[in-house]
Amino acid sequence: MSTGLWLRLLDGLLVTLELTVFGAAIGLVFAFAAGLARLSPNRVLRGVALAYTEGFRGLPALVVLFWLVFALPGLGLQLEPLFAGVLALSLNIGAYGAEVVRGAVVSVPTAQLEAATALNFTPWQRMRLVVLPQALVAMVPPFGNLLVELLKATALVSLVYLQDLTFQGQIVRAATGDTAATFAGLLVGYGVIALVLTRLVKLVERRAAASLGHTTRPRAVEGAR
């Protein structure tokens, strides 16, 4: 395999990592906005958040991606391809993340809220100082699972001609004609990235557990698929 092809794969790897990192960052914003809105006393906010989470958990990520790339221009709006990719992925992962956020906040015992009330914290202080720091710890493991799901979903962008790892893999396959080795290599590549991500999440998990004085894993939360 020529150096040019290796460089192509490297380029693809960078695009895949970009999609994963930006997708995760924006996905987190969607997840917190929608997850906290689901718990809001405001009915309109709750309704919008519910429509978002139910809607995007019912829509295939690939269809959302196709819509942003191929349908939106029909409404006169052409998105930057990489931006469209990040948006589609983060809308999708954010809907699942919202359930994680909601589940983690709800899992903080009521007794903690009562103790915060007994110390006369305001409702927002109760959330910020007592509930969220504990909920965050419970969110880390399911967020780790979602991060791997996000990595896997980035491969979809190759179908809208974004030059990610999978796209470049196809080029390599065409150039070398070695189908089995190329796809096997791609799978191993993704497997290794996933492994690295999982290790990083474990580190964060341990840090998070330490913030509650634990040396072992904290309790996990349902909600991630």
Partner 1 sequence: MTAELIAFDRVGKRFGDAVVLDDLSFGVGAGERVTLIGPSGSGKTTILRMLMTLTRPDSGTITVAGEPLFHEKRGDALVPAGEQHLRAMRRHTTMVFQQYNLFPNMRVLRNVTEAPVHVLGLSADEAEERARGLLDMVGLADRLDAYPSQLSGGQQQRVAIARALAMRPDVLLLDEVTSALDPELAAEVLDVLRDVARTFDVTMLCVTHAMKFARDVSDRVLMFNEGRIIESAPPDELFDAPKHDRTRQFLRSVIEES
Partner 2 sequence: MTFDWQAAWGAAPALLRGLATALQAAALGYVIALVLGLGFALLRRSGRRWVRLPVAFFVEFVRSTPLLVQLFFLFFVLPTVGIELSAMATGAIGLGVHYATYTSEVYRAGIDGVPAGQWEAAKALSLSRGRTWTRVVLPQAVPRVVPALGNYAIALFKDTPQLTVITIAEVLSVVKAVGSQNFQYLELITVAGVLYLITALVIAWPVRVLERRYRRESA
Q: Using the rule CB under 8 A, which residue among 88, 190, 205, 221 binds partner 2?
A: 190
Quote the CA–CA distance of 158 and 62 in Å, as a whole number.
11
Q: Which 78-137 positions form the footprint of partner 2 (CB under 8 A)?
A: none
Q: Which 44-83 positions form the footprint of partner 2 (CB under 8 A)?
A: 54-55, 57-64, 66-67, 70-76
Nearer to partner 2, 30 or 167 (CB): 167
Q: Using the rule CB under 8 A, is 125 a contact of partner 1?
A: yes
Binds 118: which of partner 1, partner 2, none (CB < 5-8 Å by kind): partner 1
Quote the CA–CA distance of 6 and 176 in Å, as a whole number.
12
Quote the CA–CA distance of 213 and 83 in Å, as a whole number.
40
Nearer to partner 2, 20 or 105 (CB): 20
Q: Using the rule CB under 8 A, is 156 a contact of partner 2?
A: yes
Binds 115: which of partner 2, partner 1, none (CB < 5-8 Å by kind): partner 1
Q: What are phi and psi of 176, to 5 degrees?
A: -95, -25
**What's CA 186's distance to the chain center, in Å?**
21
**Burial classification of residue 118, based on how many CB atoms lie within 10 Å of its CB (0-12 exposed, 13-18 middle, 19 or more buried):** exposed
Spell out the alpha helix ranges (H) of the chain: 3-37, 43-58, 61-66, 81-107, 110-118, 123-125, 132-154, 165-176, 179-210
Quote the CA–CA distance of 146 and 207 in Å, as a whole number.
19
Q: Using the rule CB under 8 A, is 18 a contact of partner 2?
A: no
CB of 9 to partner 2, least distance (A): 13
Q: Which 152-211 positions form the footprint of partner 1 (CB under 8 A)?
A: 211
Nearer to partner 1, 87 or 221 (CB): 221
Identify the residue whose tokens are 């942003």: 68
Quote the CA–CA distance of 12 and 193 in Å, as a whole number.
13
Binding site for partner 2 (CB under 8 A): 54-55, 57-64, 66-67, 70-76, 148, 151-156, 158-159, 166, 169, 179-180, 183-184, 186-187, 190-191, 194-195, 198, 225
Binding site for partner 1 (CB under 8 A): 111-112, 114-123, 125, 129-130, 133-134, 137, 211-214
